[in-house]
Amino acid sequence: MPLVLDEALPLLPRLRRHARLLCGDHARADDLLQDTLERAARKGALFHAEAGPMRQDALRNWLLTLMHRLYLNQRRDAREALHDSLDEDDAPQPAIEEPQQRVALRLDLERALAALPAASREILLLVCVEELSYQDAARVLDVPVGTVMSRLSRARERLRLSMDGAAPGRPPLRVVK
C-alpha cells in the first residue's frame, strides 16, 4: 500500500518537536524537517507498510530515518575531516556555555540535552521521547542494536553528569572493534 502524503500530516507536530530538540534551534529544525518532508514526497514510492495499526508507526519511523540521515549529512558537511572519525561519539562536543564564576552549574534539562554530543542526543530522543524499540532505533540510525545500547548507556551517564553540575568528562576511550 503506497504512501498517501496526507497520512504524514498528523505526525508533523511530533516530528517538529523532535527536530527542534535535535537541532537545539528552531530555524534549523524547520529546515531539517522541510528537507525531510521533501525527500519523503520524492521517495514516497519506497515506503511500504501494511494498512493497520502499525502503519502509522512505520511511517513515523521511516520519516525519522530520513531526518536522521539528513542530520548526519549536515554534521558530516560541517566537519571537514570526515575520514578522521567514523565513530560519531568521537565528534567534538559542542561547548557548554559555562559562566566562569559558577563552579557547580546546574543545567536545566533542555540545555543539558543540547550540550550532549549529537549521537547521544539522537539516541535519547529516539528511545526516551519517541519511545522507539531498540531495534527500531537501530534501523533509524542505521547502526547495530549493540551500538544503540552502548550509546544509550553513555548518553544517560553524560546527561546525568551534566545535570548534576559536574562537567561532562572526556569521552571514554574508543573501543576498537
Binding site for another protein (CB under 8 A): 5-6, 8-9, 12-14, 16-17, 20-21, 30, 33-34, 37-38, 40-42, 44, 83-84, 109-110, 113, 124-125, 127-129, 131, 133-134, 149, 152-153, 156, 159-160, 163
In the bound complex, what is the minimum distance in angstroms from residue 108's beta carbon to another protein?
10
- Closest distance of CB 101 from another protein, Å: 27
* Beta strands, E only, 80-129: none
Closest to another protein by CB, 80 or 99? 80
Provide, rounded to whole angstroms, the least separation between the CB of residue 93 and another protein. Answer: 19
Nearer to another protein (CB atom), residue 81 or residue 100:
81
Long-range Cβ pairs for the range 100-105 (8 Å, 24+): 104/165, 105/165
User: What one-letter code names the amino acid at 51?
Assistant: A
Q: Judged by CB, which is closer to another protein: 44, or 171? A: 44
Q: Residue 29: helix, strand or coil by DSSP?
A: helix
Record the cell numbers describing residue 163, joined without a space: 545535570
Please say whether the beta carbons of 71 and 126 come within 8 A: no
Cα–Cα distance measured from residue 128 to residue 56, given in angstroms and rounded to the nearest whole number: 19
